[in-house]
Structure 1
Amino acid sequence: MDREQEDMQFLGFFGIFKESYKIIISCKKIFSQLTLTLILPLAFIFLAFQEISSLMCNDIIDTEIEKDFARPDSKRYTNLSNTLSSERIKYVLFMYAYFIMVCILSLLLTAAIVYTIATIYIGQEVTFKKVMSVVPKVWLRLMTTFVYMLLAVMVYLILYLWVLIISLKVLRSNTFVAFLNVFLVIYVMGFVYMTVIWQLASVISVLESVDGIKAMTKSIGLIKGNRLVAVLISFMFDILFVFIQFSFYSYVVDGGLLEAWKRFGFGVLCFLMLLTLFLFGLVIQTILYLVCKSYHHENIDKGDLSNHLESYLGDYVPLIGKEAQLEEYRV
């Protein structure tokens, strides 16, 4: 990265994308290795989940239909009931396994990309072996932040449902429909904002000596002044992710009427788009962190940051005081 930190604050929406692209192109080797090792399995799991989940759901539905036509006191009914229970248990276990694998790979990938960008930023040589030796040590810090953010999202969802239930009882039907549309927009905006907070908090958990609630609180403070840009970037990536998932389901999972080669082509295209989305998304959220730090005139001392990153290579001890804090400067 040849751009000085004080100049980072002037990067806008398109500037952040341009800077991210330049970093990826200039360090193609390390990012290609990370893509093949972490991003590729993650993208495969995301898309394979839709295919496998669809097959399992279809099996459950077929079994339920057969059960409805069987006599309740017959042996066939009993066998179908046992089969249905088994299929549902398998589906629940599959969902849990999917969630765990996605969480582990996502956090490992976040740690790898953020560490790589930070190492490039301080001008040190970054190798795949070095990054992968650091990733497991950073993972626990990211997990702490993720758990707190997951709890915050759950509380947010519960409050949303509570307001909907209350409004359903109080408002008339036509008024409720109008309220629901407005409230849904507010909910989506709030969810996107929480996503931005979590993404920035994840970067903070890697590059600074805070995690969990402290990282989330610091993330909220850093976003101020760049809130619109951060939300637009996050919203754009969310829309692209939904578009890729929807396209894959429509043309591959549920595309039985299409020729095999067309379904395969759509599958490959969606897979490549998802790879690109994951890579750019994580690089951009790290660049956004640097932009926010520069905007608030908080100098990232490269020496202290270097010590912080190097500490991951030994027995990890959270840095305190000046070693981990990013000093403020005035322009």
Structure 2
Amino acid sequence: MDREPEELQFLGLLGIYKESSKVIFTWRKVFTKITLSLILPLTFIFLAQIQISELIFSKIIKNEVALDGTRSGTPSYDRLTNRISSEWTTFWLFKAAYFIFFLIFSLLSTSAVVYSVASIYTAKELTFKKVMTVVPKVWKRLMITFLWNFIIVFFYNIVAAFFFILALIAIGPGDVRPVVLYVLLVLYFSGLVYISVVWHLASVISVLEDFKGIQAMIKSKALIKGNKWLGCAIFVKLNLAFIFIQFGFEKLVVHGEELGMGSRVLYGMVYFFLLLILFLFGLVVQSVFYFVCKSYHHESIDKSCLADHLEVYLGDYEPLTGKDIQLEQYHV
């Protein structure tokens, strides 16, 4: 990064996007290799599971329709029942396998990109070989942070469901009920977005600081103060782009039989490329946003300490202590 730490706090939404794009294009050789080795499989896994899930699910629906028109107790009925049961088992086993592989490549990609951006910031020599040496030592810390986020979201949904049910019981039928439910939905999704932003920043913290799991989430919550709306805006915009790509892929590729095979393949390539770029760009933005938050809190990052920390990854893992990363404050 060419900017001084003091300047990063003044970056807005577009500024972060521009800074992230500059990082990618300046170091395109390294990021291209990271993309091809980690983000490309991640993209392929995500889009392939949409197509495969649709194929399995369509067979289930077809057999269930046939089952409805078959008399119970007949051999045909029993065969269809066994086939549907087998297909549901296949469907959920496939989903479980997809989730595991998607999570692994997601954590590996995050580790690689965060390490690369931090190395660029400290003006360290950055090579793809170094990145791939570090990645296996970092992703386990990210896994712990992810599990804590999963636990938090799980209990958040339980509490939200409780309040939804309580509101339905307390209000009863009437014109007021839709308004209350709408307000609760807005509050629910606002909370979910905030938790997601905290988690993404905690993922960067898990790589660059001596925090992981719930400690990283708490640290992220404190660090995001003052930039909460900026973080939420970034998250919402990137996820809207993600939803657009997913919707387009399902509409024009998965369910685009009327377009013909040639057009479907072409659209599939376009959406594959868009999602590939979005994954890379989102991870770089996530890393740059961390440095923006540090700068906002007037924590001048000691580049030598951070560089030493990154170099330790090439040997035995030893994260920075609090005094190494909680750096001296500067005054603007």
**TM bucket by the smaller chain?**
over 0.9
Q: Deviations over 1:191-243 (max 9, x none)?
A: 11111101100000000011111111111111111111111010001111111
**Deviation string for 1:39-98 (max 9, x for gaps)?**
111111111111111111111111112222222211111111111111111111011111
Give the conservation status (yes or no) of the 8 Å contact 1:209–1:325.
no
Indicate the SS of the match to 1:257. Answer: helix
Q: Which moved more, 1:104-113 or 1:310-319?
A: 310-319
RMSD (Å) for aligned C-alpha atoms = 1.3
| Contact 1:307-1:323 within 8 A present in 2 as well | no
The runs of at least 4 aligned residues of structure 1 exceeding 6 Å deviation read: none
Identity %: 51
Which structure 2 residues correspond to residues 70-81 of structure 1 after superposition, within 5 A? 70-81=70-81
Question: Is 2:277 aligned against 1:307?
Answer: no
Structure 2 distance, partners of 1:152, 1:172, is 30
Could you tell which deviates more after superposition, 253-262 or 319-328? 319-328
Cα distance in 2 for partners of 1:263, 1:182 equals 40
> What residue identity is the alignment partner of 1:107?
L
Aligned partners of 2:196 and 2:251: how far apart in 1? Answer: 26
Distance 2:237 2:258 in 1: 31
Out of 106-115 and 182-191, give the one that drifted further.
Answer: 182-191
Partner in structure 1 of residue 241 of structure 2: 240
Contact 2:112-2:132 at 8 Å conserved across structures: yes
The residue aligned with 1:31 is 31
* Aligned residue runs from structure 1 range 39-188, under 5 A: 39-173=39-173, 174-188=175-189
Counterparts of 1:81 and 1:300 in 2: how far apart (Å)?
63
Tell me what 1:202 maps to: 203
CA deviation map 1:248-292 (0-9, x unaligned):
101111111112222222211111110111111010111110010
Cα distance in 1, alignment partners of residues 264 and 320 from structure 2:
51
Judge which range, 183-192 or 12-21, deviates more: 183-192
* C-alpha deviation, 1:322, in angstroms: 3.2
> In the alignment, which residue of structure 2 is the partner of 1:294?
295
C-alpha distance in structure 1 between counterparts of 2:320 and 2:117, whole Å: 20
**Equivalent residues in 2 for 1:209-248 (5 A)?**
209-248=210-249
Structure 2: how far apart are the matches of 1:308 and 1:237?
30
CA contact (8 A) 2:39 2:109 kept: yes
2 CA distance for matches of 1:112 and 1:31? 9
Contact preservation (8 Å) 1:200, 1:289: yes
Q: Under a length normalisation based on structure 2, what TM-score does the superposition of the two structures give? A: 0.96
Worse-superposed segment, 170-179 or 40-49: 170-179
Secondary structure of 1:11's partner? Answer: coil
Deviations 1:111-144 (A, max 9, x none): 0000000001110111111101100100111001
Whether the 8 Å CA contact 1:308–1:324 is kept in 2: the answer is: no
CA contact (8 A) 1:20 1:287 kept: yes
Query: Do 1:112 and 1:132's aligned partners in 2 also have CA atoms closer than 8 Å?
Result: yes
Deviation at 1:176, TM superposition (A): 2.0
Moved more, 182-191 or 24-33: 182-191
Which AA in structure 1 matches 2:330? Answer: Y
Q: Distance in 2 between matches of 1:71 and 1:109?
A: 52
C-alpha separation in 1, matches of 2:223 and 2:322: 19
Unaligned 5+ residue runs, structure 1? none
Task: State the Cα distance separating 1:34 from its structure 2 match.
Answer: 0.7
Q: Give the match's secondary structure for 2:301.
A: coil
Asked whether the equivalents of residues 301 and 325 of structure 2 are also in contact (C-alpha less than 8 Å), the reply is: no
Which shows bigger deviation, 102-111 or 175-184? 175-184
Distance 1:10 1:25 in 2: 22
Q: How many residues align?
A: 331
What residue number does 2:250 align with? 249
In structure 2, distance between residues paired with 1:279 and 1:62:
38
Task: Summarize the alignment of residues 256-271 of structure 1 with structure 2, pairs less than 5 Å apart.
Answer: 256-271=257-272
- TM-score, length basis structure 1: 0.97
Partner letter of residue 269 of structure 1?
Answer: V
Between the aligned partners of 1:268 and 1:95, the Cα distance in structure 2 is 23
Unaligned runs of 5+ in 2: none
* Paired residue type of 2:155: V
Instruction: Note the C-alpha offset of 1:172.
Output: 2.8
